[in-house]
């Protein structure tokens, strides 16, 4: 009996009046704490890896956006040259291609700019209904984005007013 009490006392850890349980209880507590810390470390590592993946994906999207924007700007410049040379068909093709690029990447100002250019071709071709439709769509997009005060919006409004005076 004395051996059992002695074994029990040796297996229990006492500090002052508080009993902290057996050595096995402490070992289990250490294992649980280690498991929790390991889980937290794993979760933290997984989160960091997810953030890195998102960052890489964002960089790729930005690069694609920039490349498409450069392509669209080039198409617009070429279209403007054809427009100045009165090659409205060629200019329209380039503007439509640029419009499509801007729509694919969600470049609102690019979309509006191409709609304005296409509306101007319709205006010069005296296709007032089509021009008005493009100008209204362009201004509507700018309004939805809260960009009614930029100079492009003011230009579009003047074009709409001009068509309404002609009609």
The structure tokens listed for 165 are 């005076």
What's the confidence (pLDDT) of residue 122? Answer: 97
User: 14: helix, coil or strand?
Assistant: strand
Q: For the chain, list the domains and their CATH numbers.
A: 20-166 (1.25.40.10)
What's the confidence (pLDDT) of residue 40? Answer: 74
Judge whether 141 and 111 are in contact, CB under 8 Å: yes
What's the confidence (pLDDT) of residue 23? Answer: 65
Reading the chain (167 residues) residue by residue, the pLDDT tens digits are 555 555 555 544 444 444 556 666 667 666 666 666 677 777 788 878 777 888 898 888 889 889 999 999 999 999 999 999 999 999 999 999 999 999 999 999 999 999 999 999 999 999 999 999 999 999 999 999 999 999 999 999 999 999 999 87
What's the confidence (pLDDT) of residue 115? Answer: 98
CA–CA separation, 29 and 16 (whole Å)? 20
What's the confidence (pLDDT) of residue 116? Answer: 97
What's the confidence (pLDDT) of residue 158? Answer: 96
What's the confidence (pLDDT) of residue 59? Answer: 87
Judge whether 159 and 139 are in contact, CB under 8 Å: no
What's the confidence (pLDDT) of residue 14? Answer: 47
What's the confidence (pLDDT) of residue 145? Answer: 95
CA–CA separation, 23 and 19 (whole Å)? 11
CA–CA separation, 88 and 118 (whole Å)? 9
């Amino acid at each position: 009996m004395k051996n059992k009490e002695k074994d029990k006392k040796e297996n229990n850890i006492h500090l002052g009046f508080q009993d902290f349980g057996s050595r096995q209880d402490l070992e289990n507590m250490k294992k649980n704490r280690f498991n929790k810390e390991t889980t937290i470390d794993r979760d933290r590592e997984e989160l960091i890896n997810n953030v890195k993946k998102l960052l890489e994906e964002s960089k790729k999207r930005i690069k694609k956006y920039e490349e498409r924007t450069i392509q669209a700007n080039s198409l617009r410049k070429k279209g403007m040259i054809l427009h100045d040379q009165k090659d409205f068909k060629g200019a329209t093709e380039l503007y439509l291609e640029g419009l499509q690029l801007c729509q694919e990447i969600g470049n609102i100002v690019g979309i509006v700019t191409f709609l304005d250019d296409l509306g101007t071709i319709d205006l010069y071709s005296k296709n007032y209904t089509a021009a008005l439709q493009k100008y209204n769509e362009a201004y509507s997009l700018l309004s939805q984005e809260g960009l009614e005060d930029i100079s492009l919006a003011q230009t579009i409004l003047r074009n709409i007013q001009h068509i309404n005076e002609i009609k």
